[in-house]
Amino acid sequence: MTSKGIPLGSSIAIIGAGIVGVASACALMRQGYKVSIFDPSHPGEAGSSMANAGHIGASDIYPLSTPGIHWKAIKMLMDSNAPLKISFKEFWLQLPWFWRFWRTSHASNFESATKALSYLCQNSIDDTRELFEYCNMGDMLDHKGCMFIYDTEESFNSSLESWIDKKNRGFSSEVIDLDQLNIRAPYISNKFKYAVLSNNWGQVSDPLEVVKSIAKIAEKGGVIFHQNRVNSISKKNNSIDLATDKGTDSFDAVIIAAGIGSVDFAKSCGDYLPMASERGYNLTIPSANIKNELPLVFADRGVVTTSLSSGFRIGGWAEYSNSKNKANQDHFKSIARISRELFPEINIDNAKYWMGSRPSTPDSVPVISCSQKMDRIFYNCGHGHYGLTHAATSANLLCSLIQGEQNSTEIKALSIDRFLY
């Protein structure tokens, strides 16, 4: 449904206090809206905002469903060390989502998704920096690039075409020779000899502290945080009612940024929002005996590492499973074993283990959109494992959308109505 724009000074509620919801609140507050956030948890303490890798992966512009994914997926599902993990039960339960996921791998759909993600990523580091500086937390962002490390010469050579393509789209990189690799990543196993440095990449000092710091500034600016669970959404004349555990409140507009929970809210508003729970696993060593100069991605394994203020974090993977299912303990054991393979000197005796669910669309493109069925409802969700990367930019786009700018090709590519076909 097309919105004519919500006037400045109007009251707006946001459902969800993760990084996307909090960044959106800050952006809307700065524009002059009266903002309230609803979440049963404190800001950043639920979902994947709590303990993700802390990367601003601005050059990661390809959807997960790449051409030929069906053959790659079969091989990965037979390999316990592969980054893709799914049970046959979950596959059948999510069959419509996986059908759309497979469709994304078709050349034209893949290109459309890549263009949409490129648009989101092209200013993500600058937008993140501007947000952090506004919130007096510029020292929490580091922009040194990211090293992509390959297991074999064959996989390294196979990757070069994609790096050239990214360069043509405005995302620069450079091949790193063995001497530089040893200098910049001295603790990795000496079996790794091939790497590419992506210049369009950053990291934060700690993802949870980032959310809390933005929330603190937003609250000082007038944003009201309600530690309440929203039970239902309903339209009443020219307002939207939110029924919570503590009563009903009315707002001029509502933004749904509730992670995987956005699916049920969308359904109650009459919208179809296909999202799956893409679960990631990691371990964090509080007082690690090793440290990275910059983020590392072990490209063939789907494993990333980051030196954070809270410790040395190693994790990754994409396990498609219900967000309410318990963490798979075997995956934690695999992360521990792989950590020792990647970093022979590492001591993980005091490691803390974590699993979080990322809300993922089948084409890997988030939904930044007005509702197709209920006026005054908007979405900013489905960012998958790049909520932190997209947060600042998506918040700016959301502001434009709420003020009535909906006709650009880029905004249309992020619309929820793309799932109607």
Q: Which amino acid is at 364?
A: S
Going across the sheet that includes 377-381, the strands are 224-226, 34-38, 11-15, 253-256, 377-381, 367-370
Q: What is the mean pLDDT of residues 191-211?
A: 97
Q: Which of 371, 314, 401, 365 is nearest to 113 (CA)?
A: 365
Model confidence at 76, in pLDDT bands (50, 70, 90)?
low
Report the C-alpha gap between 90 and 20 in whole angstroms. Answer: 27
Q: Is the pLDDT of residue 179 over 50?
A: yes
Q: Quick one: pLDDT at residue 3?
A: 53
Q: Is the pLDDT of residue 191 over 90?
A: yes
Q: Quick one: pLDDT at residue 67?
A: 87
Q: Is the pLDDT of residue 1 over 90?
A: no
What is the chain's percent helix, strand, coil content, to nearest 5?
A: 40, 25, 35
HSE-CB of 241 using CA atoms within 13 angstroms: 9
Q: Quick one: pLDDT at residue 418?
A: 93
What backbone torsions phi and psi does residue 384 show, to the nearest 5 degrees? 60, -135
Span of 89-93, 138-142, 300-304, 373-377 with lowest mean pLDDT: 89-93
Residues of 51-75 as b/e, b for ≥16 C-beta within 10 angstroms? bbbbbbbbbbbbbbbeeebeeebee
Q: Quick one: pLDDT at residue 80?
A: 66
Span of 58-62, 161-165, 353-357, 408-412 with lowest mean pLDDT: 408-412
Q: Quick one: pLDDT at residue 226?
A: 97
CA 13 to chain CA mean position, Å: 22
Q: What is the mean pLDDT of residues 53-80?
A: 82
Q: Is the pLDDT of residue 73 over 70?
A: no
Give the contacts of 316 (CB within 8 A, at least 6 positions apart): 53, 83, 280, 281, 282, 301, 302, 303, 304
67 or 195, greater pLDDT: 195
Q: Quick one: pLDDT at residue 91?
A: 84
- The two tokens of residue 345 are 């000197």
Q: Note whether 56 and 124 are within 8 A (CB).
A: yes
Q: Please tell me whether residue 302 adopts helix, strand or coil conformation.
A: coil
HSE-CB of 391 using CA atoms within 13 angstroms: 33
**For the chain, what percent of residues have pLDDT higher than 70?**
96
Span of 13-17, 66-70, 303-307 with lowest mean pLDDT: 66-70
Q: Quick one: pLDDT at residue 137?
A: 97
According to DSSP, the β-strands at 276-285 and 311-320 are antiparallel
Q: Is the pLDDT of residue 2 over 50?
A: no
Q: What is the mean pLDDT of residues 369-384?
A: 96
Q: Quick one: pLDDT at residue 93?
A: 87
Span of 13-22, 79-88, 164-173, 176-185 with lowest mean pLDDT: 79-88
Q: Is the pLDDT of residue 402 over 80?
A: yes
* pTM confidence score: 0.95
Report the C-alpha gap between 153 and 135 in whole angstroms. Answer: 44
Q: Is the pLDDT of residue 112 over 50?
A: yes
Q: Quick one: pLDDT at residue 295?
A: 97
Model confidence at 420, in pLDDT bands (50, 70, 90)?
confident
Span of 5-14, 65-74, 89-98, 321-330 with lowest mean pLDDT: 65-74
Model confidence at 161, in pLDDT bands (50, 70, 90)?
very high
Model confidence at 79, in pLDDT bands (50, 70, 90)?
low
Q: Quick one: pLDDT at residue 338?
A: 94
Average per-residue pLDDT for the chain: 93
Q: Quick one: pLDDT at residue 233?
A: 97
